[in-house]
Amino acid sequence: MSTAAITMSSSKFDMPAGVHTRLRLTRRGRVVLTSLASVPIVVGALVFALNGGGAAASGDHAAVHFQHVTVQSGQSLWSIAEKVAPSADPRDVIADIVSLNQLDSAVVSPGQRIAIPSQYAH
């Protein structure tokens, strides 16, 4: 039996143990890497921009009609609330009227026209 000697040739890329190489990117490599990294950001921005109006009102416009009452001399929101919703708690009706009409307080003046919420209008 004969033994053959095996010789290993080392290439110029073999590094001695403990030596670390640093990754170097060319200009083209940096452009490609930056482009690939920015694709998810651009796609996310497009999706957000296209769906950003999802919470906006749709094109269906529901006609909302309110009953309006003109405040007479000596009337208060309490008396109006008792008149338009006799079975409801006047405090709740007053709160709804103030909110709907964006009033600063529950004080009204004679001649003032106020909207009555549709749930109380008959």
- How many Cα atoms sit within 13 Å of 81 on the Cβ side? 17
Beta bridge partners of 113: 70
Backbone CA torsion sign across 82, 86, 90, 93? negative
pLDDT surpasses 80 at 7: no
Helix-strand-coil percent breakdown of the chain, rounded to 5? Answer: 40, 5, 55
pLDDT tens profile 11-61: 555 666 677 777 788 999 889 989 988 988 988 888 888 877 555 555 566
Domains of the chain by residue range: 67-116
Assigned CATH for 67-116: 3.10.350.10
**Which of 13-17, 78-82, 107-111 is predicted least confidently?**
13-17
Report the pLDDT value the prediction gives residue 92, as an integer from 0 to 100: 92
Backbone angles phi, psi at 38, to 5 degrees: -85, -15
